[in-house]
């Protein structure tokens, strides 16, 4: 994931900052507790494609 891209992408729900999880290949919005998948190197920033994170994740 290109770090320059991380500086400009935002959560489509709250417009907040996203954090890259290299191991899971996801972009994480800690405010909304959503994890957006990265498929074939392309972030899928659709709320309908996001995974809701459990309370234990992302701490």
In the chain, where the domains are located:
3-52
State the fold for domain 3-52: N-terminal domain of TfIIb (2.20.25)
Helix (H, G, I), strand (E, B) or coil at 7: helix
Whole-prediction pTM? 0.88
Per the structure block, which two tokens stand in for 38?
A: 């990265």
CB atoms within 10 A of CB 7: 9
Neighbours of 14 (CB within 10 A): 11
Q: With the C-alpha atoms ordered 53, 38, 28, 58, is the resulting torsion angle positive or negative?
A: positive
Q: Tell me the per-residue pLDDT of 2-56, one tens digit each, with 9 for 90 and over.
A: 778 888 999 999 999 999 999 999 999 999 999 999 999 899 999 999 999 998 8
């Amino acid at each position: 994931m290109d770090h320059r891209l991380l500086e400009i992408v935002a959560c489509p729900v709250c417009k907040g900052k996203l954090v890259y999880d290299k191991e899971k290949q996801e972009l994480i919005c800690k405010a909304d507790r959503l994890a957006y998948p990265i498929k074939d190197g392309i972030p899928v920033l659709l709320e309908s494609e996001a995974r809701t994170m459990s309370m234990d994740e992302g701490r």
